[in-house]
Chains A and B, each alone.
Chain A
Amino acid sequence: MKELVIISGKGGTGKTSLVAAFASLAENKVLCDADVDAANLHLIMAPDIKERHDFQSGHTAIINQDVCTQCGLCRDLCRWDAISEDFVVDPIECEGCGVCYYFCPEEAIDFPVNTCGEWYISDTRFGPMAHARLGIAEDNSGKLVTLIRQEGKKLAEEKNLDLLLTDGPPGVGCPVIASLGGAAAVLIVAEPTVSGRHDMERVAELAAFFKIPAMVCVNKFDLNPDMGQAIESFARERDIVVMGRIPFDSAFTKAMVQGKTIVEFDGHCEGCKAVREIWDKLAQRLEN
């Protein structure tokens, strides 16, 4: 079983539309949405949820006002300024470090486990899917990404499927780092803009840092062909395989509005043709 993770650095370059299109084209795969912060793949996949689980991770301190003597030690020790003057913990600021809980002389502090999201195993018209929803304003997104990828791998092994297709998060921080470990390869979806290039370079550096082989494709290439070529040159200099160019095509948005992949929406449009070529190359590389 091999895992291909689609990332981008910059948000909104077309990761999810591309993963959805690949879902239409690939055989024997499991889908995984690792953008747990702002998951979108389910909007195209319309998953039929088979299993629903709470995601528990981390702790939050709660001060029991009946026992608290307001000695102030917890406020002195807390490095997050999470405890108010009247000794109430702000759950958004609380880092879950447990220092207040450990040192409170009155044992007035509880430290329960957080339920900070849900994860799901689903069936879709393209095969099984592992996905999740992180609670609003929660942390631990990296742990949820790790969990959802593990569940995706388990699904693939159980069903004897040889590809895990993972829609990754934007950025270069915690959730992206969690989405890279153990992946066979990453495909970076770049856009030919100054910011697209800047962000692609950072995420390529991240993939190199973790020694994950990287490939790149440039979406909306015709928006700025010079910039597109500059991205491709940058990639080649760093042994990042250039997989192809996707033209700007309004069919991507139209397909999304209808809840379809671009392959389902219009298999003959320019965008779809380009995606199909990229997929053929990708499938070949993944076999080797």
Chain B
Amino acid sequence: MIISIASGKGGTGKTTVATNLAVSIETDVQIIDCDVEEPNAHLFIHPDIEKVKTITTPVPEVDMEKCNLCGKCGEICQFKAILVLGEMVLTFHELCHSCGGCILVCPEKAITETGRELGVIEVGHRNGLDFVHGRLRVGEAMSPPLIRKLREYTLPGTLTIIDAPPGTSCPVIASMKGADFVLLVTEPTPFGLHDLRLAVEAVKILGILCGLVINCSDIGNDRVKDYAEKEDVPVLMEIPFDRRIAEAYSRGEMLVDVIPEWKQEFKGLYHRIEEIVG
């Protein structure tokens, strides 16, 4: 089973839920941190990293000996990543989406592919927990191709918990697609509710079952609960605001280590998800 943890709004507690859920369940668990722009799960899991792989995406390289300056490559490229200017072919690797169109269209077979570094994927373990995350190279704009590569590390036959990035656009979709269940984490505030609505819409577009964790459940107001009831999104867990939890988080400590009773709560959360997924 694949459970993707998402939120819409950032900073609502996705990583807290993902990591604590991962260490509370007594089954084979893999955690994949897909928030490649700002991965945080490793700060709580402290995995021993055993493998680091640099991930690249193909970008064009033009052999000017062969090029006849016909300009077809510039015509097919939708991303303004290659164009013929006078006697030169300019390539802008950072704009390239790696579709391969320029290579296919070139009548002189003058274009080959080289790589642009997207970032790295690191694989490790901690106490029997399989850990994978990606780190987008700072300065690199495109995270979805790195996220798609990360998803290839999904181990069959285990429970995979995905820590998704915030928002509702392409990186989030890449982190939720193909999941069996999306667990949305929100806070009961106007910002939390607004972004939760967007996240629920995104989950509906993908046709995935979802449920809700309300973090800092005693701040704000009741409108998140009203919304969840109206939209038939089950509230599976509530975590009240507790300064001890916030302070422990600030130090990189796990909630279930600081207040061990929460381990039972996270087990219960997993069982409720199992029941829903069936």
Which positions in A face B, CB cutoff 8 Å? Answer: 9-13, 16, 37-38, 40, 43, 58-59, 77, 79, 92, 95-99, 102-103, 134, 136-139, 141-142, 169-174, 176-178, 191-196, 198-199, 202-203, 205-206, 209-210, 223-224, 227, 250, 253, 256-257, 259
Task: Point out the residues of chain B lying under 8 angstroms from A224, CB to CB.
Answer: 247, 250-251
Q: Is B198 an interface residue (CB 8 A)?
A: yes
Given contacts A79-B98, A177-B141, A253-B220, contact A198 B11 (CB under 8 A): no
Q: How far is the CA of A58 from the CA of B97 in the complex (A)?
A: 12
Task: Point out the residues of chain A lying under 8 angstroms from B246, CB to CB.
Answer: 223
Q: How far is the CA of A38 from the CA of B206 in the complex (A)?
A: 18
Interface-facing stretch out of B164-172, B226-234, B257-265: B164-172
- Whether the pair A137, B101 counts as a contact (CB closer than 8 A) is no
Q: Is B86 an interface residue (CB 8 A)?
A: no
- Whether the pair A137, B141 counts as a contact (CB closer than 8 A) is no
Q: Is B92 an interface residue (CB 8 A)?
A: no
Interface-facing stretch out of B63-71, B149-157, B188-196: B188-196
Task: Point out the residues of chain B lying under 8 angstroms from A141, CB to CB.
Answer: 167, 169-170
Which positions in B face A, CB cutoff 8 Å? Answer: 8-12, 15, 36-38, 40, 43-44, 76, 78-79, 97-101, 104-105, 136, 138-144, 165-171, 173, 177, 189-191, 194-195, 198, 201-202, 205-206, 219-221, 243, 246-247, 249-252
Given contacts A95-B99, A253-B219, contact A173 B251 (CB under 8 A): no
Contact of B219 among A99, A103, A194, A250 (CB under 8 A): A250
- Whether the pair A10, B40 counts as a contact (CB closer than 8 A) is yes
Q: How far is the CA of A202 from the CA of B104 in the complex (A)?
A: 37
Contact of A98 among B76, B138, B252 (CB under 8 A): B76
Q: How far is the CA of A99 from the CA of B73 in the complex (A)?
A: 11
- Whether the pair B101, A171 counts as a contact (CB closer than 8 A) is no
30 pairs across A/B with beta carbons < 8 Å? A12-B12, A37-B167, A38-B8, A38-B10, A38-B194, A40-B191, A43-B190, A43-B191, A77-B104, A92-B177, A92-B205, A99-B99, A103-B104, A136-B201, A137-B202, A137-B206, A138-B169, A170-B10, A171-B37, A171-B165, A173-B142, A173-B143, A174-B142, A194-B252, A195-B15, A195-B249, A256-B189, A256-B191, A257-B221, A259-B190
Q: How far is the CA of A10 from the CA of B12 in the complex (A)?
A: 11
- Whether the pair B38, A170 counts as a contact (CB closer than 8 A) is yes
Name B101's closest neighbour in chain A (CB-CB): A99
A116 → B minimal CB distance (Å): 9
Contact of B173 among A92, A177, A198, A259 (CB under 8 A): A92
Q: How far is the CA of A227 from the CA of B252 in the complex (A)?
A: 11
- Whether the pair B141, A173 counts as a contact (CB closer than 8 A) is yes
- Whether the pair B12, A193 counts as a contact (CB closer than 8 A) is no
Task: Point out the residues of chain B lying under 8 angstroms from A173, CB to CB.
Answer: 36-37, 136, 140-143, 171
- Whether the pair B141, A136 counts as a contact (CB closer than 8 A) is no
- Whether the pair B37, A12 counts as a contact (CB closer than 8 A) is no
